[in-house]
Amino acid sequence: MAVLPVPGGAQRIYCYAGCSTCRKALRWLQDQAIAYEVVDITSAPPSLEELSQALASLGDRQRLFNTSGLSYRTLGSAQVKALTDAEALEALAADGKLIKRPFLITPGGEALTGFDPQRWSEALRQSAP
């Protein structure tokens, strides 16, 4: 699957303004001099194509879900487990609050959910031109 292009070669990062982990990730990207474009995950969640790509990269759909969020708790873990992959991706695309954030897909096609500076450094370094 192709990575959706971002103007100017920047990283597209899906965040929620009220999320301290997202703010840490954005500060880290700035400190690393990595260009990025912020997309509000609640008003413009990742597309089905991006979520499918992330699922293929992560290999475990549970890693896509923000299990500590209200949307997830409302839906319920039993309901999430009962969903097919296609249904899970549809639910994620419909409600950005269900998605573990921050969320980005590297130019090399690797999905990153949550923020781990070491993991991000490795993934973004590998995908650098």
Three-class secondary structure assignment of 42-89:
CCCCCCHHHHHHHHHHHCCHHHHECCCCHHHHHHCHHHHHHCCHHHHH
Number of other CB atoms surrounding residue 129 within 10 Å: 5
pLDDT tens per residue, range 1-48: 333 444 456 789 999 999 999 999 999 999 998 889 999 999 999 999
User: Does residue 115 lie within any of the structural domains?
Assistant: yes
The pair of structure tokens assigned to 102 is 């921050």
The pTM score is 0.87
User: Does residue 3 lie within any of the structural domains?
Assistant: no
Instruction: Look up the domain containing 66 and give its range.
Output: 13-126
Q: Tell me, what CATH number does 112's domain have?
A: 3.40.30.10
User: Does residue 6 lie within any of the structural domains?
Assistant: no
Q: What is the residue whose two structure tokens read 């997830």?
A: 72
pLDDT at residue 107, as a whole number: 85
- Per DSSP, the three-state class of 41 is coil
- Indicate the helix (H) or strand (E) that contains 118: helix 117-126
Domain count along the chain: 1
- How far apart are alpha carbons 64 and 60 in whole angstroms? 8
User: Does residue 4 lie within any of the structural domains?
Assistant: no
User: Does residue 5 lie within any of the structural domains?
Assistant: no
Cα torsion angle, 35, 129, 119, 13, sign: positive
User: Does residue 7 lie within any of the structural domains?
Assistant: no
Number of other CB atoms surrounding residue 19 within 10 Å: 17
pLDDT tens per residue, range 70-113: 999 999 999 999 999 999 999 999 999 999 999 999 888 899 99
User: Does residue 111 lie within any of the structural domains?
Assistant: yes
pLDDT at residue 128, as a whole number: 60
- How far apart are alpha carbons 94 and 92 in whole angstroms? 5
User: Does residue 8 lie within any of the structural domains?
Assistant: no
pLDDT band at 127 (very low <50, low <70, confident <90, very high): low
